[in-house]
Amino acid sequence: MKKLAFFDTKPYDRESFDRLNGGRYDIRYFETRLTAAALPLADGCDAACAFVNAEIDRAVVEGLVARGIKVLAMRCAGYNNVDFKAAWDAGLTVVRVPAYSPYAVAEHAAALLLSLVRHIHRAAARTRDFNFSLAGLTGFDLHGKTAGIVGTGKIGRIFAGICQGFGMRVLAYDAFPNPATGLEYVDLGRLWAESDVVSLHCPLLPETRHIVDAASLARMKRGVVLVNTSRGGLVDSDALLAALRDGAVGAAGLDVYEEESDWFYEDRSDVTRQNKTLSLLVSLPNVIVTSHQAFLTREALANIASTTFANLDAYFSGGPLENEICYRCSGAARPVNADCPRRAASGRCRPPRPRAAGTV
C-alpha cells in the first residue's frame, strides 16, 4: 500500500479523505504545512499532499525527491506557491485539483458583496447587544449597478451570472477573452472607471501581482466595492487600506490576504504581535475578512478528495495525468502543458520514475 504524507490537515480534510480512501492509501496526517522544516515527516512515504499555503520552494522540492517522493498532489487549484522549474529539474511530478466547486467560491463572493452593501455584519453585531437602531446601515441596490469581473474562468463566469441575476450590468476583463461567454469584454482602464463593484477571479501570476494597486484604485469610481476571493497577492494591501481610509474604496470583502500563510487557517486570537496591515483592515467597519474559506463546502471537499485520489491512482498506475502541471511545456513562468509532445504521446509530461535504490 502506498504511503501518503498529508500536510496541513484539518478535521474536515481528514473526514472527507478517509470517507473516500477505501483502504487505497496509508495516509499519514500532519497538522503542519509543508515547508523545509516539515520534510522529515515525509520519510518513508511514496507521495506528498499539500495545500495552497505550503511553501514549496527548491529546498522542499529537492527534499521530497531525496526521500524518494516523485509525486506531489496539490489539493487545490492555485499553484503560485510551487517552484515548478525546481520540480522539473528534480523530477517531481506535480498534480492539482483544477476545479472542485466553482459555485462555492462564486457564491461566497456574492455573500461578501451582499453583506457589505447591506451592512449585514454590522447589523448582526448590533442586534446581539439588543441594539435595533438602523442608523448608519443604509445600503444601496445592486440592481442597475455595474459589476467589473477580472478573470472569466469557471468561477468568474458563475459570479457574472449571479450579478446578472441581480439585474446588474457586467463588464469583464481576461487576458484571454472568451467570446462564447457572451460577456462584454473591456480593457482594465474602462473596467476600473465604470464599475460599482470589482470582483477578482484571476490567478496570481507575475503579470497579475498587485493588479489592484494605488494607481488602479485611483482610476476606480469613488465608493467602489472590492471583492477578492482569488489570491491575496492580486491586491496591494497597503494601497487598499489607504483607499479605504480616505473613502476612495467604499468597502472591501477579502477571503484572501497577500501574507495569509502565517495567519490563516489557525486560531491566532492570542497572538499579541499581529500583522499590522491585516489588523487595521479587519478593524474597519466597511471591511469583511474571511479566512480563505470560499472553497469550504461539503461538495467541494468531496470533489477535492476524489480528484486527488484520481490523480494519485493515475500516477502510480502509469495512466494519463489530466491534472499535471509542467514547467517545461511552456518554457515560461506560467506552467501549461497543452502543447507538450510527450503529453500528446503518453498523457503525461514525464514518465513515472522508480524510487532511488535504498529508499523505503
Catalytic residue among 260, 343, 348, 350: 260
> What does DSSP say about strands 324-325 and 93-95: parallel, antiparallel, or unpaired?
antiparallel
Residues whose CB is less than 8 angstroms from the CB of residue 233 and which lie 6 or more positions away in sequence, other chains included: 80, 204, 209, 210, 258
Q: What is the Cα–Cα distance from 296 to 298, expressed in whole angstroms?
A: 7
Among 74, 65, 146, 81, smallest CA distance to 113 is for 146
Helix then strand count (H, E) for the chain reads 12, 13
Active site residue 231: yes
DSSP secondary structure letters along 230-292: S-GGGB-HHHHHHHHHTTSEEEEEES--TTGGGTTTS--TT-SS--HHHHHHHHSTTEEE--S
Q: What is the Cα–Cα distance from 156 to 244, expressed in whole angstroms?
A: 24
Active site residue 121: no
- Cβ of 84: how many Cβ atoms within 10 Å? 21
Residue carrying the nine cell digits 477578482: 200
- Cβ of 14: how many Cβ atoms within 10 Å? 13
DSSP secondary structure letter of residue 96: -
SS3 26: strand
Q: List the alpha helices (DSSP H) in the chain.
A: 11-21, 58-66, 84-90, 102-117, 120-128, 154-165, 188-194, 214-219, 237-245, 276-283, 298-317, 341-346
Bridge-partner residues for 170, per DSSP?
147
Active site residue 328: no
Catalytic residue among 28, 33, 201, 231: 231
Q: What is the Cα–Cα distance from 47 to 40, expressed in whole angstroms?
A: 13
| Burial zone of 284 (CB within 10 Å; 0-12 exposed, 13-18 middle, 19+ buried) | middle
Bridge-partner residues for 173, per DSSP?
150
Catalytic residue among 28, 33, 292, 348: 292
Active-site annotation, residues: 231, 260, 292
